[in-house]
Amino acid sequence: MSFTRLPALFRVLCAIFSCILLALTACAPTQQNTVAPSGFIGDLTPRPEGSPGVLLLAFSGRCPPGCQVPNDNIDYLTPRGTVQAVAAVLETRGLSVQIGAAASHLGLHTPGTVSQAQAGAGNTVAATQQGFVQLEERLNQAKQQWVRGRSNPTRIVLLAHSHGVVWSHALARAHPEAQIAAMIDLDGVCDFWETDHRQDIQARLKALGRNPWGFDLADSCGSVRVGHIRYDVKDVVFPNVVNDLEVQSARLLGRPDGSFMANFPFDNLQNVRLDGSRTGIQTYRSASDTHSSVSWPRSRAMAWVLDRLTELSTDWTPATPAPLPSAP
């Protein structure tokens, strides 16, 4: 029996079912749980002299309420000392660390007003701030010069807080061939992210005339299907990420009088892999840190992060140079 001979109601139902199937197909995750191959063929060679053992890329979050977003967004993880605290753990391992740090912004910008409280009292902030594109360039440079074809490739570590987590997950998603040795997510949240950045991203795409990311970067707070559940991209750990350290701030904060007050915002969903597992993911939910305080280097949350990073970097020690052949 042909489709046109079916009763009209049945044909309508078939059409609706087909549309639903198409919609579900369109929702399918764009990446499976495998790391894209680097495609390198040939003998591996050591990294150039002076190249770092670790490239640490950090993304800060949004400026306080009332600021001009995204232009007033700054890299506050550097002046707070959070980036250096992470680097110090790795340097203790004997690894050289090169740092790149960005504000929650697509690109270079000059903030009109800087929140001193956000940067930390007495701390200075660079007049020109970097954004996602600059750190992506750093990653691309590292891939080409220090990772691809290297016998001792530079390890990539991503650190991010709040809206910065959306950027760091987008970076990992956009570069599936780049292995991320560790991703540190400090209370990632999506609220207002798309409103803040969609216009800049769409303007850049229009200027480029092409999409360099392979997905809609402006939709980085959209969701990805994992089994029957849809997760925000910031809660999805992509296959190229080896270790993910996730921090969630407290739901309720205790007051001196014994009462409690709400802490908002906070990351309310444990991270997951595309296959639904939590392989390589560790999550810490603080009982006392706020959304802001989780990102200060002396917080309980950061103490947990630094301890976990110390553990997982145990075998990151630089390779010992091969002994010289003995004299005949």
Contacts with Ca ion by CB under 5 A lie at 235, 267, 269, 271
Check the CA dihedral 290-285-188-57 and report its sign. positive
Other Cβ atoms less than 10 A from the Cβ of 258: the count is 6
For residues 156 and 135, what is the distance between their CA atoms, to the nearest angstrom?
12
Q: Are the C-beta atoms of residues 78 and 130 closer than 8 Å to each other?
A: no
- Strands (DSSP E) contained in the chain are 54-59, 97-102, 155-161, 180-186, 223-226, 229-232, 236-237, 241-248, 252-254, 260-262, 272-273, 281-285
**Minimal distance in Å, beta carbon 309 to Ca ion?**
18
Nearer to Ca ion, 134 or 271 (CB): 271
**Minimal distance in Å, beta carbon 92 to Ca ion?**
28
Nearer to Ca ion, 271 or 295 (CB): 271
In the three-class reduction of DSSP (H, G, I as helix; E, B as strand; rest coil), residue 264 is classed as: coil
Q: Which residue is nearest to Ca ion (CB)?
A: 235
For residues 252 and 257, what is the distance between their CA atoms, to the nearest angstrom?
14
**Minimal distance in Å, beta carbon 86 to Ca ion?**
19
Among 246, 233, 247, 257, residue whose Cα is nearest residue 294: 247
- Phi, psi angles (nearest 5°) of residue 277: -85, 175
- Phi, psi angles (nearest 5°) of residue 155: -85, 145
Q: Are the C-beta atoms of residues 226 and 274 closer than 8 Å to each other?
A: yes
Q: Are the C-beta atoms of residues 233 and 163 closer than 8 Å to each other?
A: no
**Minimal distance in Å, beta carbon 188 to Ca ion?**
6
User: What are 228's two structure tokens?
Assistant: 């029957």
**Minimal distance in Å, beta carbon 165 to Ca ion?**
8
Nearer to Ca ion, 58 or 247 (CB): 247
DSSP string, 23-57: HHHHHS-SS-SSPPP----S--BPPPTT--SEEEE
**Minimal distance in Å, beta carbon 269 to Ca ion?**
5
Among 242, 245, 220, residue whose Cα is nearest residue 233: 220
**Minimal distance in Å, beta carbon 184 to Ca ion?**
12
**Minimal distance in Å, beta carbon 299 to Ca ion?**
17
**Minimal distance in Å, beta carbon 168 to Ca ion?**
12
